[in-house]
Amino acid sequence: MITHDYSEWHEPEKPPFTVEELINAVKELMMQYHVSFDEALKHLQERGLPYNEFLKVGGLDELIQGYLDQIDKQKQEILEKHRIDDLLTKLEEDIRRKSLELEQIVAKLKDKNLSQQLEEGLKQRHPAQLYAVDWQLSRSKDKSTSQARQQLQELVQLIQQMKSLTELNKDHPFTGQKSVNPTEAQRLKEKLDMLDDLQQKLVDAIEYGDLFNMDVEQLKELLGEEAAQAFEAKRDEVRKQFAEALQATGDVDYNEETDIYKITPGAARKIGEKALKEVFSRLFTDGIGRHHATFTGDGNVEMTTTQPYEFGDSLTSLDLPSSLLNSAIRQIDSPDSVKGKIRIDSRDFVVHQTKGAASSAIVMLIDQSGSMSREGRFFNAKKLALALDALIRTEYPEDKLYFICFSTFAKQIPIGAIPELAPKPVTIMGGAVNMRIDYSKEVSQRSKDLIPEHFTNLQKGLELARVLLANTDTKNKSILLITDGAPTAFYEDSFLYLTYPPNERTYDRTLREVKAVTDENITINTFVMGNDFEMNYFGEGEFLEKMHRVNKGRLIYPAPDKLTQYVLKDYLDRKNKIIQI
């Protein structure tokens, strides 16, 4: 006979996070605070978030619970063996006696204000007030003050000891019979404090997965070397499981030798896909799809309309049903026709018209200078870069997208490096800057490290973009410039110049590169995130206007949080206008 017992159903306890949620949280920290994946993850680890999902799997929670039981046992043994109430009584008697003696000494100084101050201090038993009395005594020239000060210092020590042991007795009620002296009481307090501290760390380890704040030496001292070794072995096992779980998602790489976690390019693309969904959920209620150029010709997109075959047309676009129908109609009155058979030749061929899909090559040129750290500018620039990559990769794979960051220097960067990029920290505060670095001579690495990197070398960024686009085979080439101001650095011959505030020479050398870019039929579309004050203080706005009069590109001033929406919609709108010849 089988008996069934029923009870109220309770949903099983869920872990406080999933691995995917953890990775998403780390990505948010990376993007917002411009730190590496490893830095962001370790920040969460220090807060005790990452490991609690794995504690039960690894058996570490059971091991820790055993340690907690041992701590409780040690504390109980101390409390059941000792008593400190009689020590507290003795301390109270000593304090009263010392207080009376001190009042008598101070009274002989015949300083009414000092006597009142001492009386108030003794009443409150506050060390700070008594130290104020000691300071007053130190200013007196009376020889008896030295005795008073000595008595006062002894009294303060007794009061502090009394306060400490009273709190100890309140937190840990002693029930034993063995009386202790002040020295023994202090040792018991230190031992109980250490046990309390270790207990709290172990509780945090179970509740939050906080394995890093555990002092293994403290564990060894209080619970023995075997306990410390067992804990370290289990912790290493859990950390290994944690690393494997992160790697299994495909979003994280882990180097066991260096103990460093890195985000994968695929994970960076997922950030972009998420940003893309957020933008289009707000902008395009009818969804998005592929947009193509409107001219007809030899291309890769078939249309419903057809045309007679001409020599040279691709047979991959053959409309077979229409071609067979043409052949059958032609042979109805033909004396050479054979009943039940259709003979087809090139006269019958019909091909679908096609339209060419527009393709383009784009360099996203991201300002990495120090001022981009303001008002979420660099965060939104990174968000745009990842979203644009996701859009092109999924909807317009025929397009090519490259990324270049520029500050004092400029370099091309891969998509996987974007989430942890950061603006260059400002290292020169206040005043004008006019530096020149000679690169015709060998510059040591130490000297390079001393060069401030937070300047805006738009000239070098444009040059690098121009060279990069020169190696692409499409005729539709553009630079998407994300910046918040005007250039403050440039190269001339073998010299690097750093100038602040920007001047006409800086502007002139940059405009020369703008002209070179324009001569290569490359369009520069600039999205400026600086405010009105920043754009007009040193003529920055006038420079940008002049730059676009030379290049004929567009100049747009979006708010930082609207940058991604502006650029993606602009990109989609212009896809219909770009024709591949």
Residues in the chain: 581
| Same structural domain, 141 and 117 | yes
Q: How many domains does the chain have?
A: 4
Q: What's the pLDDT at 513?
A: 92
Q: What's the pLDDT at 406?
A: 92
Residue with tokens 């250039």: 487
Going residue by residue through the chain (581 aa), what tens digit of pLDDT does each one get? 445 455 554 444 444 567 777 777 787 877 777 778 888 887 777 666 556 666 666 677 888 888 899 999 998 998 888 888 888 888 888 888 887 887 787 777 777 777 787 777 777 777 777 777 777 777 776 666 777 778 778 888 888 888 888 888 888 888 888 888 888 888 888 888 889 988 888 888 777 767 766 788 888 888 888 888 888 888 888 777 778 877 887 888 888 788 788 888 888 777 777 766 666 555 544 333 433 333 344 444 444 567 776 655 656 667 777 777 777 777 776 666 666 666 777 677 777 665 445 578 888 999 888 888 888 888 888 888 888 888 888 777 888 889 999 988 999 998 888 888 888 888 776 667 778 877 766 665 556 667 888 888 999 999 999 999 988 888 888 888 888 878 888 988 888 888 888 888 889 899 999 999 999 988 888 888 766 655 566 667 788 888 888 888 888 777 777 777 767 777 776 664 543 32
Q: What's the pLDDT at 530?
A: 66
| Four-CA torsion 329, 331, 334, 337, nearest 10 degrees | -150
- 283 is a domain residue: no
CA 424/CA 346 separation, integer angstroms: 66
Q: What's the pLDDT at 293?
A: 39
The CATH number given to whatever domain includes residue 428 is 3.40.50.410
Q: What pTM did the predictor assign?
A: 0.59
Distance (Å) of CA 82 to CA 179, 180, 185, 186, 259: 6, 7, 9, 13, 47
| Same structural domain, 230 and 378 | no
| Same structural domain, 349 and 401 | no
Q: Annotate 442-486 with DSSP letters as a single string.
A: PPPHHHHHHS---S--HHHHHHHHHHHHHT---S-EEEEEEESS-
Given 338, 355, 372, which residue is the final one in a domain?
Answer: 355
Given 355, 380, 401, which residue is the final one in a domain?
Answer: 355
| Same structural domain, 390 and 531 | yes
> Please, which residues bridge with residue 482 across strands?
366, 527
Q: What's the pLDDT at 396?
A: 77
Measured N-to-C along each axis, helices 19-33 and 377-395 cross at an angle, to the nearest 10 degrees, of 120
Given 173, 206, 224, which residue is the final one in a domain?
Answer: 173
- 444 is a domain residue: yes
- 6 is a domain residue: no
| Same structural domain, 451 and 381 | yes
What is the DSSP code (8-state) at residue 11?
P
- 12 is a domain residue: no
Residue 502 domain boundaries: 361-575
| Same structural domain, 165 and 251 | no
- 35 is a domain residue: yes
